[in-house]
A and B are shown apart, each in its own frame.
Chain A
């Protein structure tokens, strides 16, 4: 009854914004099924896009953490004929600012009672355990004068796994072989012991600090520079083997993820496009009636556009929630740490969804505008 005069002119619609709203709401409520399926498509697409973007942004940090298992990426070695200052370790730790590990190492060549030489290293065993996670150790030493014996050194220093003796510059020490160490590299030929015991025995202080710094290559470069200034008696170098391998693998993985994300987002946009196009096309009778009743093209366009935009925005917000959940789940399953939701992804998703929804509405509109209402109403 009231529809005719009010929808008849554009001015009327402007004067009665509530009518515009009512049409929007009624259109959605009356065609629940179709609206729901269109909304579902939007939600799924937005969720997939959110998941991919979140993963893409967070993957780098997650993988960097995995790469830190390769151990030290920076090494400070004392220069020939000099000595590291006593507070060197504290200096390094303050430069790291809590984002990384620093482990001191001291080395001497000791002799067994049989006269054979063996390298003995003093270090912070608790920290080494965190730094060099690939070390395969039967039992980590705890007590004083406990030692970790390399798999190849075992035959030389204590073939019968009892207390063994080593001497350095005439001073002897009795060590208890707490565990056997296996790394496959030069560590296998060494004996490791706690730094305080080592210093009390040999009087030799650490010559090397191995550092695992967290962060991007630029941040690590900054730490190297800072340490070079702070420790003039040491040569501070990045471990190229570790740094370059990481950069390479990470770069390739990122590129693959980017390609995958682009493809997936494109596909889900396509899904939205075909669903929404169908939805709008399906309502060509409404369109024709409105036109026959005298509504201007601009009014109809803005009506359909508003509908699409609302759908797009609703889908984006719901999808964002779902996507963040999925990303967190993937993080937990794959990296054993949740992916932190990135709120800065939301505007991108929102904008993208609304844009895709508008495009999907505009295409059928453009087709319908060229058709006479009478033809549509006849159902042809």
Chain B
């Protein structure tokens, strides 16, 4: 009898059920989409923040001091220690290699450049542009195109195994050279494949494939410093602790969190005789910006949840209020308050489950669309959320119905049936 009542109610009042169902679907859909966006926004913004470039710098452990003023390297090339290029692919083998977006080795060399007139001393910076490397069976591409996204190029990037070079914008003006022409570096002519504009020191430098710089320096496999761009978790109290003072359990937790400090520690492990340090300008600010944006989205999601909960409750309350003559009839026929309430709640649950499922699917789709159109990468939704969202939908629908049911049940059947309420 109970089941038939519910079934008939759905069959006969299609319009009302449809309206309430739509409200639940929309509410759940919006809530789902917002939860998905809010949980994923940290990751997405973290990736966008990588456009600030590398946040870790690896240098040889017993290096002498940098003598850099305004990007001009004054250090004699014979001075100081080097990292070995052969160790670089091992970065792919660290615990947090999925978080490492890319890395670029740098090797500055002072060279004599002749265009027209007398030779000039200029810094030539050897690096990877988009170098294909392999670690184990896995092959990957890394270089300044990934770690320094603000470098703008006019012309073409040189191949990493070529002898072509890039001229910094200001240097090109000074030497009066253009794309496709040649420039004489240390007595040998090299083709200029492009003009580089960075807004930094490189505008006055020559940027060349790493192998060319090593060749000029006469030190094959040498790397002066290594810029690593990694997605990290904002720093907290644990991150700042010295790993040497931690107990093993705490150390494991620290090691297995993508803090900038623990990634630096792991880089030192795989690259022998190296010292990895966070570039504080990038790493420290990343945390604050990220936490602000995450906080903002969290509060906005809260607002979305409240708004959709209210929309669902309001729709349910209206739907039940409209049916008070039905309640009157049931009461007149001898239906108890509990029986009537359970009938309505069963209907509400059914509606919530149906609308919730449809809303979840719609919300997941909506989150995908938002991810695609804003971040160019889809926001995937955790299936674990499904029962959670359904439970929330049922709870909100219940809450919305409860008050209206109570009022409908309390009403005298005579008034209800006469339509005077």
Interface-facing stretch out of A94-102, A170-178, A179-187: A179-187
In the bound complex, residues from chain A placing their C-beta under 8 Å from that of B74 are: 109, 117
B93 CB–A CB distance under 8 Å: no
Residue in chain A with minimal CB distance to B46: A249
A45 pairs with B304, CB closer than 8 A:
no
Chain A interface helix/strand/loop/mixed: helix
Interface size on B, residues (CB 8 A): 78
A256 pairs with B53, CB closer than 8 A:
no
A253 pairs with B317, CB closer than 8 A:
no
A277 pairs with B70, CB closer than 8 A:
no
A359 CB–B CB distance under 8 Å: no
Q: Which of B68, B289, B375 contacts A63 (CB 8 A)?
A: B289
B70 pairs with A183, CB closer than 8 A:
no
A111 to chain B, nearest CB (A): 11
B51 pairs with A52, CB closer than 8 A:
no
Q: Which of B33, B282, B374 contacts A255 (CB 8 A)?
A: B374
Contact with A along B100-136 (1 / 0, CB 8 A): 0000000000000000000000000000000000000
Q: State A248–B46 Cα separation when bound (angstroms).
A: 12
Contacts known (A244-B150, A334-B295); A379 close to B418, Cβ less than 8 A:
yes
Contact with B along A143-155 (1 / 0, CB 8 A): 0000000001100
Residue in chain A with minimal CB distance to B310: A271
Q: Which of A132, A238, A271 contacts B281 (CB 8 A)?
A: A132
From A41, A59, A156, A252, residue with most partner B Cβ within 10 Å? A252
B310 pairs with A278, CB closer than 8 A:
no
Q: State A282–B317 Cα separation when bound (angstroms).
A: 12
A260 pairs with B51, CB closer than 8 A:
no
A273 to chain B, nearest CB (A): 9
In the bound complex, residues from chain A placing their C-beta under 8 Å from that of B198 are: 240-241
B289 pairs with A184, CB closer than 8 A:
no
A267 CB–B CB distance under 8 Å: yes
Contact with B along A21-52 (1 / 0, CB 8 A): 00000000000000001000100110010011
Contact with B along A311-333 (1 / 0, CB 8 A): 00000000000000010001001
In the bound complex, residues from chain B placing their C-beta under 8 Å from that of A268 are: 307, 310-311
Contacts known (A55-B296, A249-B45); A48 close to B306, Cβ less than 8 A:
yes
Q: State A123–B148 Cα separation when bound (angstroms).
A: 28
B199 pairs with A240, CB closer than 8 A:
yes
B49 CB–A CB distance under 8 Å: yes
Interface size on A, residues (CB 8 A): 80
A189 pairs with B279, CB closer than 8 A:
no
B51 pairs with A264, CB closer than 8 A:
no
Q: State A285–B415 Cα separation when bound (angstroms).
A: 14
B321 pairs with A278, CB closer than 8 A:
yes
Q: State A257–B200 Cα separation when bound (angstroms).
A: 33
B374 pairs with A256, CB closer than 8 A:
yes
In the bound complex, residues from chain A placing their C-beta under 8 Å from that of B34 are: 260, 263-264
A248 pairs with B200, CB closer than 8 A:
no
In the bound complex, residues from chain B placing their C-beta under 8 Å from that of A189 are: 65-68
Q: State A45–B311 Cα separation when bound (angstroms).
A: 9
Known contacts A119-B68, A264-B307; 16 further A-B pairs (Cβ under 8 A) = A117-B67, A119-B67, A134-B280, A184-B281, A242-B52, A249-B45, A252-B48, A253-B296, A255-B374, A256-B41, A256-B297, A264-B300, A268-B311, A278-B314, A282-B321, A333-B299
